[in-house]
Amino acid sequence: MRWIWLWLMTILAAAGGYWWGSHGQLHNTEASPTAADVRKPLYYRNPMGLPDTSPVPKKDPMGMDYVPVYAGEQPSQSDVGQVHISAAKVQKLGVRTEVVRSQPLERLIQTAGRIEWDERRIHTVNARFEGYIERLHVNVTGQPVRRGEPLLEVYSPELVSAQREYLLAHQGVSALQGAEETARGSMQQLAAASLLRLQNWDIAPATVKQLARSGQVQRTVTLSSPASGIVTDKKALPGMRFMPGEMLFQIADLTTVWLIAELFEQDAAWVTTGMAAKVSLTARPERTFAGVVRYIYPSLKADSRTLPIRIELDNPQQQLKPAMFARVELSALTPDEVVVMPRSAVIDSGKRQTVLLQVGDGHFTPRSVKLGRYSDELVEVLEGVDIGDQVVVSANFLIDAESNLKAALSGFTGKE
């Protein structure tokens, strides 16, 4: 009987151990999750720290992967939207910040242009009557002339008849000095009408006085230069017949010239009339000429998408010649102080512009900004940051290449 009891006790002990082991293992399994369960992401957050999460992996508009967040890594309410970096990582990445400030914004605009005639100083020589060219005093294009200098002598049958009428009327007024008032008045009216006809034909007053003194009709009349300048066009030829209004000479005064320069669209808002300009020429590299912006054209050129402006230059020595190539510098300054920050602080994704603000040691938060005008180093901020904010201006995530940008931001958001 004893061996039967021993056999039963052995079976019961084995059964009890199996039951206890099974229930204890189940309890431990429920209480202690596996390593795989611990590393399972709770969600995925925006790599730039923006308040945007996703239950599944995805990419942001710049093509960067969302960062997984595991159990125990959830940010507190005050840390939402921030990027945290250790002091070692800040030093390693070379992070540098600058203060957003208020000051006038200055921009140096450099462009190119060409010298052209001053259209207000171009004069045309023509006759107001029909006639023939008897003699040319100026017969070469490019010849300099002075105001009042003879250009050509012309013969016109109409002009000869008009001179005879004036002489007869002028002599009649003298002959009727003692006549009745009616006859004398009629002759005076005829003389005045004859003189007005000569004046309307642009006959010089000296020629009319000479006609009255001499009493002799002049067969030819001399046409003189209306201004000092250079003969830029000559149509007159000896013996040529001309009609009223036909151009015989064109004379341009070079004491003042225009410089037509072209601005890119982003520079157009900086330029105003009255702005000073520095001009240098390829032909005269040793000298700088001073000019003034006198006119901004109302429309852009469709082919080059540039806005023409007109700069006026004094040219007393006539060193500036039309068609010369010129380089132009315009120094523009905003009239009032504006909120500015370094251009290197801006991360431009194409759809929006973002900066990183330093909100504490190793704590950075992204901020979308609205930008205005640009200078060489600074940019005007219309919305998004305030004066006194610290913005990140130097770090390897600001490298232009998108691959380097992605790698740097991944380093910022990685767990230390």
pTM to 2 decimals?
0.64
pLDDT value at residue 395: 62
Query: Where does a domain end: 287, 308, 333?
Result: 333
Query: Where does a domain end: 299, 333, 367?
Result: 333
Q: Quick check: is 147 in a domain? A: yes
User: pLDDT tens for residues 97-119?
Assistant: 889 999 988 889 999 999 999 99
Q: Quick check: is 171 in a domain? A: yes
114 and 258 in a single domain? The answer is: yes
pLDDT value at residue 403: 34
Contact, 253 vs 121, CB < 8 A?
yes
pLDDT value at residue 286: 87
> Under 8 Å CB-to-CB from 218, ≥6 apart: which residues?
163, 207, 210, 211
How far apart CA 57 and CA 65 sit, in angstroms, is: 7
pLDDT value at residue 199: 84
pLDDT value at residue 399: 33
Structural domain for 221, as ranges:
123-251
239 and 261 in a single domain? The answer is: no
158 and 225 in a single domain? The answer is: yes
Query: Where does a domain end: 251, 276, 303?
Result: 251
Q: Quick check: is 154 in a domain? A: yes
Q: Quick check: is 319 in a domain? A: yes
Q: From residue 13, how far is each of 7, 9, 18 by CA, in Å?
A: 10, 6, 9
Overall number of domains in the chain: 3
313 and 359 in a single domain? The answer is: no
Q: Quick check: is 42 in a domain? A: no
345 and 324 in a single domain? The answer is: no
345 and 402 in a single domain? The answer is: yes
**Low-confidence residues of the chain: pLDDT under 70:** 1-39, 48-51, 62, 71-86, 89-90, 175, 178-179, 395-416
141 and 231 in a single domain? The answer is: yes
Q: Quick check: is 14 in a domain? A: no
Q: Quick check: is 150 in a domain? A: yes
